[in-house]
Amino acid sequence: MHEPRTIGFIGTGIMGGPMARRLIDAGHDVRVWNRTAAKAAALGATPVKTPAAAADGAEIVIVMLSSGPVCDEVILGEHGLLDTMPPDSLLIVMSSIPVETARHQAEAAGERHIHYLDAPVSGGERGAIDGSLAIMAGGDEATFARARPVLESLGRPVRIGPAGSGQLAKLINQLVVASTIATVSEGILLAERGGADPARVREALLGGFADSTILRAHGQRMIEQDFAPGGPAKWQLKDTRTALAQADSLGLDLPVATLVNRLFEDMVANGDGELDHSALIRELRRRNALPC
């Protein structure tokens, strides 16, 4: 077993809650903060009233909040984490945020002699519960080595490169996820309208070149119309928009990602933003004048 650490954990939502729980179960001393205090208290960790209280004296602080602006507010704002964390401590931002936001946070942390790692994740709520998350880390090798024992309680960490590169890998992940959801949705819809049983079509595709985690997990969700949010569509849209902005800054035209982003924009505009991102099939049904 790895040496127990004192960890401040910021944000215990759909993903953050089970992640914090795994750190507690691994024997770490975890202090948690969440905007909704009841969510933090339910974990059995030490709940605190402010992010600063979670960070005060902690060896490691993990941030799992909803967006770049929210992370910046908590990390860089008045009485932010960087004003509270001791020198030589480690800040791990596991939220999905823009690449430049991560780089700016890393620079600000370095000025205060605080080590920084951006380490966004993929795998949804089930991956957070099981400790099987894909963890894409950006930071120097020594910082990653220091964080690795803690991250391994949450999933499979891989260092991509310097600060910000973890977020770039996550944007790539989100483009692949979004476009695969769209394609699987179209396939299931085509099976239905063509007179085939979508469940049997899905079963037949497993193990072939069309197989994927999306087909296995979200294809089943689409067939069962089970859209309780593991990854809400509104956050998928946030990430595809961020990915396209990053591509635009590099002078790239990504036509498939642009089309899929538009589908998610329409889905959210039509009131499905709180549903799981696999509910994109509902948007395709609307486009084809079919019942949702």
| Residues annotated as catalytic (active site), given as ranges | 170
Classify the phi-psi angles of 33: left when phi > 0, otherwise alpha if psi is within -120 to 50, otherwise beta.
beta
Looking up tokens 């936001």 gives 101
213 is written with which tokens?
Answer: 């985690």
Give the residue from 162, 168, 152, 210 showing the smallest Cα distance to 186. Answer: 210
* 224: exposed, middle or buried (Cβ count in 10 Å: 0-12, 13-18, 19+): exposed
DSSP 268: I
H/E run at residue 202: helix 198-205
Residue 183's DSSP bridge partners are none
DSSP 124-179: HHHHHHHT-EEEEEES-HHHHHHHHHHHTTTEEEEEEESTTHHHHHHHHHHHHHHH
Give the Cα separation of 239 and 16 in Å (integer): 18
Amino acid at 125: E
